[in-house]
Every structure is written in C-alpha cells, then in structure tokens.
Amino acid sequence: MDHQQQLLNRLGNLHQLPRPVLGQEMSLPNVAIAVLHRHPWAQLSYAISGEVEVDTHGGHFVAPPNRAVLIPPGIEHGVTCPPGTRIRSLYITAGMLPRQHCQVLEIDVLLKELIVAFSRLPEEYDQEGADGRLVAVLLDRLSQARPCELMLPWPEDPRLQRLCRYLAANPDCRRPLAELGRPLGVSDKTLSRAFNRHTGMSFRQWRQRSRLLAALPLLERGDRVTDVALACGYDSLSAFIAAFRALLGSTPGDYLHRRA
C-alpha cells in the first residue's frame, strides 16, 4: 500500500474532527494528497512557503505564497505541491464558514500568523479558553478573506476539456483557435462560443489565464522572468509583465521580491 493510500485510509477513519478546526503542525492536513478524494468538512489548502495546487472536476486552483485554496465539504479534489513546500492547511467543520464554492483566497499577514499560531496548539485544544478565542478570530478573519482569480475553469464537454488540458500542459503552444478546432471538426467561431458557454471566459482570456498560472511555479523555483515568459508562450517580456500585473496586481519582479 503506497503512502497516499495510507493517508486516505486514515482520512476515511476520521468520521468527525476532534475540534471545529484541525490543522496542527504534525497532523494529517499538512500532507498533500494528489489522489482525488473528498470529506465531510471544508479544507483550506495553504503553504507558509512554496506553492499549493488543487484540482477538482470543475477547475485548477493555484495558491502561491500569501494565497490559499478553500475547498467546501464534499468536493472531490487532489492537492499537489513542489518539493520543499511547507504546508499548514486546515480542516474546518462544515457550516463554520459561509463560503460555498472552491476558490483561492488572499492570506494577509495577520491571517498567516493566526494559522501558524494555531498549528502549534494541541489537537484537542481548550475551546473555552484562550485557544478557543484564537480559533474564533482565525475563522472570522478567514470568512473575510478576499477571493482572487487564480483558477482555471475546466469545461464539462469532454472534447473541449481534452483541448483545455492540452493547452494547460503546453503553455508555450501558439497554435491559433482555427487550427486547434480542426481535429475536433468545428470552426473557430463554434469553438469560441463553446469556450464562453462552458468556462465563462473567451478563448483568449482562458489561454492567458492558463499561461499565467503555469508561470507561477516556474517563478517559484527561481527561473528568470524572461525564460518564464518564453516558456509560457509570450512573444515579448513586456506582454508577459502586463498580463501578470493585470492578474496579480504586481510585476513578476515585485512578486518575487515580496516572496523573498
């Protein structure tokens, strides 16, 4: 039996959280499980260093530093992260947070420190004392965390999903929409309408989002900004910087400086 299956078995035996929130430093939530699974509580997938990626049937979510992915109860998901990532994720009893959709949230300095402080508490912390008050503040701040657009929606249509997954895996692909639609037997106009209908985004918007999400792990591992731009299909560094700023609110250089 492999390690991930052992972890899934432990999850399956955990029918109820010992407290409203679980996520101590040495507990199960601090291990990434890539195999698709689900559980009856919410999960905040967060890394105090490194990056976390979450896949669901509906989309691909990326949480670089100062971001986290919130997964509602019952959503099938898998979590991956690069080597060296330090996870401090949380399991949260259903109903404790008002959010109903899987989304990436901004983690400000205070929220990060609350998560780190919580990770050092005993698993069965005192709910009536100072530990319980810390958890109440943690949940309150988490309920107010701002969502951000670091996700890539997957279409339900099988043919379109195959195309989307190909483009996500090959961000340097520059083939135009008409050429991509030819093996599917559809025109570029039909394919364009399908993108809007199934993802809520135009093909151009979806492809740009896909390229930018692919750029984040490359920047995290220390690749040069120019090399990342070329690897992700951008013809010029200026175009990459402009698109990056539009999505993340900073240039790639500023992003790397804040991460450091």
Task: Quote the CA–CA distance of 204 and 189 in Å, as a whole number.
Answer: 13
Flag whether pLDDT at 60 surpasses 70: yes
Q: What is the pLDDT of residues 102-129, one digit of tens each?
A: 999 999 999 999 999 999 999 999 999 9
How large is the average pLDDT for residues 42-58?
93
* 3-148 is a CATH 2.60.120.280 domain: yes
Separation between Cα atoms, residue 260 and residue 255, nearest integer Å: 9
Quick one: pLDDT at residue 204?
Answer: 93
User: Residue 243: which H helix or E strand, with range?
Assistant: helix 237-248
> Looking at domain 156-259, does it have CATH number 1.10.10.60?
yes
SS (H, E, C) 46-73: EEEECCEEEEECCEEEEECCCEEEEECC
**44 in helix, strand or coil?**
strand
Q: Is the Cβ–Cβ distance between 81 and 51 less than 8 Å?
A: yes
Which regions of 57-176 does DSSP assign to beta strands (E)?
59-63, 67-71, 77-80, 86-87, 90-92, 103-106, 147-148, 151-153
CA atoms of 18 and 30, how far apart (whole Å): 16
Residue of 233, 73, 99 lying closest to 167 (CA atoms): 233
Q: How confident is the model at residue 259 (pLDDT cuts 50, 70, 90)?
A: low
Residue 113: phi and psi, rounded to 5, are -65, -35
pLDDT at residue 4 greater than cutoff 80: no
DSSP-assigned letter for residue 79? E
Please tell me the least confidently modeled range out of 64-68, 85-89, 164-168, 255-259.
255-259
Confidence of residue 3 (pLDDT cuts 50, 70, 90): low
Domain ranges, ordered by start, for the chain: 3-148, 156-259
The pLDDT > 70 percentage for the chain reads 98
Average pLDDT, the chain: 90
What's residue 129's pLDDT?
A: 96
Residue that has been written with the tokens 């999505």 in this structure = 247
Residue 136: phi, psi to the nearest 5? -65, -40
Helix (H) / strand (E) element for 119: namely helix 109-119
Q: Is the pLDDT of residue 1 over 60?
A: no
Give the mean model confidence (pLDDT) for residues 194-202.
92
Q: What average pLDDT does the segment 54-65 reach?
A: 93
Distance CA 60, CA 57 (A): 8
**pLDDT, tens only, 69-104:** 999 999 999 999 988 889 999 999 999 998 878 999
Q: What percent of the chain has pLDDT over 90?
A: 65
